[in-house]
Amino acid sequence: MEKKIAFLGLGGMGTPMARRLLAAGYPLTVWNRTASRAAQLAAAGAGVAATPAEAVREADVVITMLADPAAVREVVGAFASALRPGVTLIEASSIGPQGVREVAGMLPEGVALVDAPVMGSVDRAAGGELSLLVGGDVTEVRDVLEVFGTLTLCGATGTGAALKVVLINAVITGVTAIGEAMALADAFGLPEELVTGAMAHGPLAGVAGRAFGQGSHFPVWLAAKDVALAVSGADLPLSRAVHGRLTAFPSAASEDLGQIVKHIRAAQR
């Protein structure tokens, strides 16, 4: 592969995505704030940079997969001056359209920006089965993006980030609603198996599957961050209430979103 890629952000999603690039044969340099997370990728053949600027210096394509808008602004600010004309930055974090506009304003002349946040869990990232919501011109980087999964081309830069907020907010709201539905079932004295079985065969099957499923890890604090992005974009009373529910249980912050169901039920007992 001719394209040299820099990947910044080796969290739960970033690490398997970076592994996909190595498996596809791309020359890869990685950077992560906690340097120890890069060790396994180094053993698999990736170069490890000490700073964001060092990571991108020789790159043709730069990918950022970071926790929130503040982290993205900090890291992009640290490497922007090292980007060469002709480089494409793929911003894969969930930062919303306003965050993408802020990133665009930080980039030097001649650097292209594609927003490509993802839908999917860690296992789907490892298998190259993510759904990528893409805004911007993908002509130069389609081959790179397709290593991660299936592309939905959304339109101009920022539209992928916008659709991600719409979709993930719907999922988070649905999972939270399942928590309250289970609390109501508890109040009525209904057997748990009866309620979950009915949900699994009804119109709520998809969101119930996410609420009760195993193997995913989307931390509650990240879910709250995504709902906050939604609330910042429109007047959404329901989403504000969901954000309050998600932040009402500090002990759940690092747990998977589905675990919010048990916390909501416990609070009603």
Q: Which residues does the annotation mark as catalytic?
A: 164
Spatial distance between the Cα atoms of 4 and 47, rounded to a whole number of angstroms = 11
Contacts of 235 (CB under 8 A, 6+ apart): none
Spatial distance between the Cα atoms of 31 and 49, rounded to a whole number of angstroms = 5
Sort residue 180 into left (φ over 0), alpha (ψ -120 to 50) or beta. alpha
Spatial distance between the Cα atoms of 70 and 82, rounded to a whole number of angstroms = 20
User: Beta strands 118-119 and 130-135: pairing type?
Assistant: antiparallel
Spatial distance between the Cα atoms of 13 and 7, rounded to a whole number of angstroms = 12
Kindly compute the dihedral angle of the four CA atoms of residues 71, 77, 82, 88, in this order, to the nearest 10 degrees. Answer: 60
Spatial distance between the Cα atoms of 174 and 159, rounded to a whole number of angstroms = 23
Neighbours of 139 (CB within 10 A): 9
